[in-house]
């Protein structure tokens, strides 16, 4: 098995308790949990892990993998109702509530499992992207896809052996777990897990980076919007590499992050849960900055699908298709969803973009968020990035609303900077010189905060619902 000995493990700590757990200690924690699981679980079994963000979580995850079973990692703040929904859907053999608690075996009369053959193609990890309150959507990865992703990440990133990583992201989704935590840890690099992710915690980010000589971290654009506003920048110069991903990144925020971090090695990353985290990225240091630019694929291939002709091509514009050795097995228990996105060996990402002659890729929007206004296709992501360049605007989210005449109209939720009074006439006039008339928002909603998922992402459906509850600004 690929994850049964862990010969190279970095040291692990949290910002609340900086007493380091070294590789041998972590291995002891893993072995203790393995002893509780051995004989009861094996390949093709599923274990639900209900906690995260600690050394105990890492030990439990690696212990599950050591037995050849698969881990289903969920949000540690999930309600009892959400847990029961997931238990019913996942049908786990056991549930791990906390590291120091004994496993809860669902079927105590289940026959013992010993000596089963192990395979790289067995399921290893389930990550849930939606539906924990109803119909869960779980991405299934094999040991093979995870091994490919770790190997490719390490090869392309080339992190120095002495570098320390800060993981400010939740550990129940791919960006935080696979990219920011396990990629460095399983190659012997030290990792510190950020405990306090609140605004008060982010206000100390610069101090944390300096105090711990952090050299690498990764997060989402919404994290950096808050961090660059609330925290003083680090002054030690320890940061050597920074990743930003999971949502569109404007060139303005890209540069602001680089200025705050004190390095131009700030990478706009592209990756999705279905590809086990990052599959491409590019830095400001390369000198080709543009909204949505992600560079070339890391160890894979990309094409675009023309929406009109249905033809695939290596260059041009359309839906981005990718092939990568880190591709998921499929969506757990949802073959129809799997068949809709995995076709002829290509994964249909649902992202709209362009590929240049040299293989350089730029993401411009999402298919499912596209607004159809009387036949005119409008990508809300493009308007998001444009509006956030206005000096009075802190954050926005553009979405479509039903319209009796045009089918859909453009709406926007807007968070203004502190002390700014809303003036729609000024914003309308500013937009008129920058985008076509039909793309200018007709409906405006002024919010104190854009609602986000537990992954720090913006869900346009959730924002739309929130805006309709509070009413349009007049």
Tens-digit pLDDT profile for residues 277-317:
999 999 999 888 888 899 999 999 999 999 889 899 999 99
Summary mean pLDDT of the chain = 91
Q: Residue 371 in 3-state DSSP?
A: strand
**Per-residue pLDDT band at 135 (split at 50, 70, 90):** confident
Per the CB < 8 A criterion, the answer to whether 164 and 215 are in contact is yes
Statement: residue 115 has pLDDT above 70? no
Check pLDDT > 90 for residue 3: no
| Mean pLDDT of all residues in 49-67 | 95
State the Cα–Cα distance between residues 22 and 63, nearest whole angstrom.
16
Say how far residue 443 (Cα) sits from the centre of its chain.
Answer: 30
Residue 226 CB coordination number (10 Å): 20
Residue 83 has pLDDT above 50, yes or no: yes
Whether 143 has a pLDDT exceeding 80, the answer reads: yes
Domains of the chain, start order: 3-355 (3.40.50.12780), 370-470 (3.30.300.30)
- For 374-403, the pLDDT digits (tens) are 777 788 888 998 898 999 999 999 999 998
**Do 382 and 363 touch, CB atoms closer than 8 A?**
no
pLDDT tens column, 224-279: 988 999 999 999 999 999 999 888 888 999 999 999 999 999 999 999 999 999 99
Q: Which residues contact 254 (CB under 8 A, 6 or more apart)?
A: 244, 266, 268, 284, 289
Q: 297-320: buried (b, 16+ CB within 10 Å) or exposed (e) per residue?
A: bbbbebbbbeeeeeebeeebbbbb
CA distance 468 to 416: 19
**Per-residue pLDDT at 289:** 85
């Amino acid at each position: 098995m690929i994850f049964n000995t862990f010969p190279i493990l970095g040291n692990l700590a949290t910002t609340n308790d900086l007493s380091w757990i070294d590789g041998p200690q972590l291995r002891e924690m893993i072995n203790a949990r393995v002893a509780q699981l051995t004989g009861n679980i094996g390949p093709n079994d599923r274990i639900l892990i209900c906690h995260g963000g600690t050394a105990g979580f890492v030990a439990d995850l690696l212990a599950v993998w050591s037995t050849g079973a698969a881990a289903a990692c969920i949000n540690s703040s999930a309600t009892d109702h959400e847990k029961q929904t997931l238990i019913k859907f996942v049908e786990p053999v056991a549930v791990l509530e906390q590291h120091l608690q004994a496993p809860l075996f669902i079927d105590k009369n289940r026959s013992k499992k010993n000596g089963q053959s192990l395979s790289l193609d067995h399921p290893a990890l389930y990550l849930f992207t939606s539906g924990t309150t109803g119909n869960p959507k779980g991405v299934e990865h094999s040991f093979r896809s995870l091994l490919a992703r770790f190997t490719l990440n390490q090869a392309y990133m080339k992190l120095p052996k002495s570098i320390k990583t800060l993981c400010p992201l939740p550990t129940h989704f791919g960006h935080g777990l696979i990219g920011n935590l396990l990629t460095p840890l399983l190659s012997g690099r030290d990792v510190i897990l950020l405990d306090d992710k609140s605004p008060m915690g982010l206000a100390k980010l610069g101090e944390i980076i300096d105090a711990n000589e952090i050299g690498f971290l990764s997060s989402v654009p919404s994290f950096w919007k808050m961090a660059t506003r609330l925290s003083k920048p680090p002054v030690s110069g320890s940061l050597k590499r920074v990743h930003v991903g999971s949502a569109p990144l404007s060139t303005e925020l890209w540069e602001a992050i680089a200025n705050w971090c004190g390095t131009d090695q700030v990478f706009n990353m592209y990756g999705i849960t279905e590809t086990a985290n990052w599959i491409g990225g590019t830095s400001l240091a390369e000198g080709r900055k543009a909204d949505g630019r992600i560079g070339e694929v890391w160890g894979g291939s990309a094409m675009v699908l023309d929406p009109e002709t249905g033809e695939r091509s290596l260059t041009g514009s359309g839906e981005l298709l990718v092939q990568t050795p880190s591709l998921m097995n499929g969506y757990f228990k949802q073959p129809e969803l799997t068949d809709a996105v995995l076709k002829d060996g290509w994964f249909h990402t649902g992202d709209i973009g362009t590929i240049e002659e040299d293989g350089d890729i730029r993401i411009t929007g999402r298919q499912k968020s596209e607004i159809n206004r009387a036949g005119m296709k409008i990508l809300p992501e493009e308007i998001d990035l444009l509006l956030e360049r206005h000096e009075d605007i802190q954050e926005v989210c553009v979405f479509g609303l039903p319209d009796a005449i045009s089918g859909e109209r453009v709406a926007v939720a807007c968070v203004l900077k502190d002390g700014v009074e809303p003036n729609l006439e000024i914003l309308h006039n500013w937009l008129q010189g920058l985008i076509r008339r039909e793309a200018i928002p007709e409906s405006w909603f002024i919010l104190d905060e854009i609602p986000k998922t537990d992954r720090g992402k913006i869900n346009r459906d959730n924002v739309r619902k929130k805006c309709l509850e509070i009413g349009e600004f007049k």
